[in-house]
A and B are shown apart, each in its own frame.
Chain A
Amino acid sequence: MYVAVKGGEQAIANAHKLLSEKRRGDQAVPELEISQIKEQLGLSVDRVMTEGSLYDRELAAIAIKQAQGDLVEAIFLLRAYRTTLPRFGFSEPIETSRMEIQRRISSSFKDIPGGQVLGPTYDYTHRLIDFALEIPDNGNSETCRAEVAAEAIQNAMPRVADLLLAEGLIEDEATDNDRRPVADLTRDPLELPAERDARLQNLARGDEGFILSLAYSILRGFGASGHPFLGEIRFGEVTVELVPEELGFPIEVGEVSVTECIMFNRFMGSATTSPKFVRGYGLAFGHCERKAMAMAIIDYALRSRELGERSEYPAQDEEFVLFHSDNIQASGFVEHLKLPHYVDFQADLVLMRNRQGEFRDGKKEGRDERELEDEKAAKEAE
Chain B
Amino acid sequence: MSFSRNSFTTKERQKWMSVLSKSSCQELEGAWQGISEKPDYRHLRKPETGIIMVRARAGGSGLRFNFGEMTVTRCTVKTDEGYVGCAYVMGRDHRHAELAALFDALLQNSGYKLKILNMVILKLKESREKRKEEISKKSAATKVDFFTMVRGD
Chain A residue at minimum C-beta to C-beta distance from B90: A254
**0/1 interface trace, chain B 19-58, chain A, CB 8 Å (1 if under):** 0011000000000000000000000000011111111111
**0/1 interface trace, chain A 219-263, chain B, CB 8 Å (1 if under):** 000000000000000000001101010110111111110001010
Of the candidates B55, B58, B144, the one whose C-beta lies within 8 Å of that of A115 is B144
**0/1 interface trace, chain A 66-91, chain B, CB 8 Å (1 if under):** 00000000000000001001111111
Give complex CA distance A180, B58 in Å.
14
14 residue pairs of the A-B complex, CB under 8 angstroms, read A56-B92, A82-B51, A87-B69, A91-B52, A100-B135, A103-B139, A115-B144, A116-B144, A121-B142, A147-B141, A148-B141, A246-B76, A252-B21, A255-B22
Asked if A176 and B57 make an inter-chain contact with CB atoms under 8 angstroms apart, the answer reads: yes
> Given known contacts A55-B71, A173-B63, A196-B63, is B137 in contact with A90 (CB within 8 Å)?
no
**0/1 interface trace, chain B 110-139, chain A, CB 8 Å (1 if under):** 000000000000000000000011111111
Determine whether B68 belongs to the interface, using a CB cutoff of 8 Å to chain A. yes
List of B residues within 8 angstroms of A240 by Cβ: 52, 54, 70, 90
Asked if B51 and A262 make an inter-chain contact with CB atoms under 8 angstroms apart, the answer reads: no
- Chain-B contact segment, one of A1-9, A149-157, A351-359, A362-370: A149-157
Of the candidates B56, B88, B134, B146, the one whose C-beta lies within 8 Å of that of A93 is B56
Asked if A251 and B64 make an inter-chain contact with CB atoms under 8 angstroms apart, the answer reads: no
Asked if A196 and B66 make an inter-chain contact with CB atoms under 8 angstroms apart, the answer reads: no
Asked if A58 and B140 make an inter-chain contact with CB atoms under 8 angstroms apart, the answer reads: no
Chain B residue at minimum C-beta to C-beta distance from A170: B59
List of A residues within 8 angstroms of B57 by Cβ: 93-94, 96, 173, 176
Chain B residue at minimum C-beta to C-beta distance from A104: B139
Chain A residue at minimum C-beta to C-beta distance from B129: A152
> Given known contacts A55-B54, A93-B55, is B66 in contact with A100 (CB within 8 Å)?
no
Interface residues of A (CB under 8 A from B): 49-50, 53-56, 58-59, 82, 85-94, 96-97, 100-103, 110-111, 115-121, 146-153, 155, 159, 161, 173-176, 178, 180, 182-186, 196-198, 200-201, 204-205, 239-240, 242, 244, 246-247, 249-256, 260, 262, 279, 281, 283, 285, 299
Asked if A253 and B138 make an inter-chain contact with CB atoms under 8 angstroms apart, the answer reads: no
Asked if A186 and B62 make an inter-chain contact with CB atoms under 8 angstroms apart, the answer reads: no
List of A residues within 8 angstroms of B141 by Cβ: 146-149
Asked if B90 and A255 make an inter-chain contact with CB atoms under 8 angstroms apart, the answer reads: yes
**Interchain nearest-CB distance for A296 vs B (Å):** 10
Asked if A85 and B49 make an inter-chain contact with CB atoms under 8 angstroms apart, the answer reads: yes
List of A residues within 8 angstroms of B88 by Cβ: 88, 242, 244, 251, 253
Asked if A176 and B60 make an inter-chain contact with CB atoms under 8 angstroms apart, the answer reads: no
Of the candidates B60, B66, B136, B137, the one whose C-beta lies within 8 Å of that of A184 is B66
Determine whether B7 belongs to the interface, using a CB cutoff of 8 Å to chain A. no
